[in-house]
Amino acid sequence: MLQQQINLSSDLKQLRDEGYEIEVRGGHLIVHHIPYVNSNGEVAIGKLISTLALNNNVTVKPDTHVINFMGDHPCNNDGTIIIGIQHAVLNQQLYDDVVLNHSFSNRPPNGYENYYDKIKQYVEIITAPAKSIDQTVTARTYKVIEDIEEESVFNYIDTNSSRANINQLNLKFKGLRIGIIGLGGTGSYILDLVAKTHVDEILLFDGDDFLQHNAFRAPGAPSVETLKMKQKKVNHFAKIYSDMRKGITAFPVYITEENIDLLKELNYVFICIDSNSARSMIISKLKQFGITFIDVGLGVNMAEDNLIGTVRVTVGTNSKLDHIPNRIGSETIDDNEYSNNIQIADLNALNAWMAVIKWKKLCGFYQDLKEEHHSTYTINTAQLINEDYTA
């Protein structure tokens, strides 16, 4: 995978062919074995780390002139730091074996045209003092870097995470199996957000067809031809998001007591359905299974010539379940309230964003100081209320 990636880009290939120890990992270009002088006037070895701007896995013009470094701040041969590249102190863990200690800034008038020029420039600045002490040191070792097959759930490199230097945080999602029950307005937006995380698997459950009204409250813009196909919702969305990632499985069924065991090995389940009786049964079983669930709902009504309503997210975890009976109804008389109610794409999306942000808190991706298990957003007052905190 590594060598194939390098061969696709002429600038990376040129660096490798000239003997630089380069590695492509998770949207970063890592250049190993960079000789530099430390504050004691000694020759040491560091690494240069640059984010990669890619299109179809081929490098394009670098989007920043800034580069990161693992090691002490490079110095002149007298031990004074090279102030011409000084930028910021980071000390940020990127991978298990890579720490971003510093960032450097050296910008040509028009920026760098390619990664060969960018790396070459920084290497020359950083290694020049080291060479003045020891003429034998070089960054061009011609050492063969082992070609490691990098496993990824994505069909192309996640350069967004590398730009933000949050690759290490993405490990919190690895190995997770997520279920989404109901691929209507809110459920489809939840899929859109979860599909862009590094979870291993996403299982979709819905027995409905994808019809014309769905197109107006779901992500994307389906064509007339797509609507004519009358696909199951889960098949429609699985096809779309499988272009981006692996691990999406579609189940064109409603969850019932007969097939509830499909949820048994999941880590988290999003419940996005309109039937209170089905929701009650599912939640009861998820409690037995010990699976954390995030239930969503919205109620929108006409008040004179305006819309009013509330968006809700309720969470059930092993540490807190006592609030569920007071927050989620089980009466079958209300089964059709959600489907007959007004749904608007922006409110479906907001409901999904609230649910996914809470899920990411549960995963440890975002800090969670309150550990709330129930949140509501009221439209006409713009009021967000959090309740049912972990004791």
pLDDT for 333 equals: 45
Residues of the chain with pLDDT under 70: 1-3, 146-150, 330-341
Single pTM value for the model: 0.79
pLDDT for 339 equals: 43
Estimate to the nearest angstrom the gap between the alpha carbon of 244 and the chain centroid: 12
pLDDT for 336 equals: 41
pLDDT for 79 equals: 94
pLDDT for 335 equals: 43
Rounded-to-10 torsion of CA 249, 207, 268, 318: -150
117-151 pLDDT, tens digit each: 999 999 999 999 999 999 999 999 998 776 555 67
Per-residue tokens: 164: 């933000």
Report in angstroms the alpha-carbon separations of 323 from 116, 285, 291, 366, 374: 58, 16, 16, 23, 9
pLDDT for 26 equals: 82
Spans of all domains in the chain: 2-164, 174-389
pLDDT for 268 equals: 98
- 57-63: list long-range contacts, CB under 8 Å, 24+ apart: 57/5, 57/8, 57/156, 57/157, 58/8, 58/9, 59/9, 59/11, 59/12, 59/114, 59/115, 61/111, 61/112, 61/113, 61/114, 62/111, 62/112, 62/114, 62/115, 62/118, 63/163
Classify residue 44 as left (phi > 0), alpha (psi -120 to 50) or beta.
beta
- Spatial neighbors of 55 by CB under 8 A, at least 6 apart, are none
pLDDT for 332 equals: 52
| Whole-angstrom distance, CA of residue 54 vs CA of residue 166 | 17
Residue linked to tokens 């200690």: 101
- Which of the following CATH numbers is that of domain 174-389: 3.40.50.300, 3.40.640.10, 3.40.50.720, 3.20.20.20? 3.40.50.720
pLDDT for 303 equals: 85
Please compute, for residue 356, the number of CA atoms within 13 A of its CA located in the half-sphere on the CB side: 22
